[in-house]
């Protein structure tokens, strides 16, 4: 029987771990599933970074962050392998890519929510 998931450990700061915890709670899905969604939504961003840098490794990306905590997740093998590929091609640690994916996902979700609130306020103004 083929394994479909892989245990991976990333070193993340407390704020990022809290974002995963909160997102998992709000969506009522396991933390690993939430992380997987964040990483998959970050593929486009990583491809753009790769292409924007002429398909060469990024230079000057922080190598080590202080105050990070090792956190283990169980990700689908294809997600873990794709993240490893980007890590290798960009020469950036997987934990850094995970952090960027989560921050990008949170930013996009926040923008969607702001737009929905704006639309609701517009509809409410029409009702008056």
19-72 pLDDT, tens per residue?
999 999 999 999 999 999 999 999 988 888 778 766 666 655 555 667 789 999
Give me the pLDDT at residue 122, please. 82
Please state the rounded mean pLDDT for residues 69-87: 94
101 — pLDDT class (breaks 50, 70, 90): very high
- Annotate 60-87 with DSSP letters as a single string: S-----TTEEEEEEEEEHHHHHHHHHHH
CB of 104 closer than 8 Å to CB of 16? no
Nearest alpha carbon to residue 9 among 52, 72, 58, 90: 72
Give me the pLDDT at residue 109, please. 87
Q: Pairing state of beta strands 68-76 and 5-13?
A: antiparallel
Place of tokens 């190598």: 63
């Amino acid at each position: 029987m083929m394994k479909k998931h892989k245990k991976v450990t990333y070193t993340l700061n407390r704020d990022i771990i809290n974002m995963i915890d909160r997102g998992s709670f709000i969506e009522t899905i396991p933390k690993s599933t939430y992380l997987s969604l964040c990483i998959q939504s970050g593929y486009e961003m990583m491809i753009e970074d790769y292409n924007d840098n002429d398909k060469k490794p990024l230079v000057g990306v922080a190598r080590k962050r202080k105050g990070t905590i090792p956190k283990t997740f169980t990700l689908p093998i294809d997600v873990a392998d794709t993240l490893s590929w980007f890590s290798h091609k960009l020469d950036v640690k997987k934990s850094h890519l995970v952090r960027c994916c989560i921050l990008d996902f949170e930013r996009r979700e926040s923008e969607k929510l702001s737009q929905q609130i704006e639309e609701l306020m517009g509809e409410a103004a029409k009702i008056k």
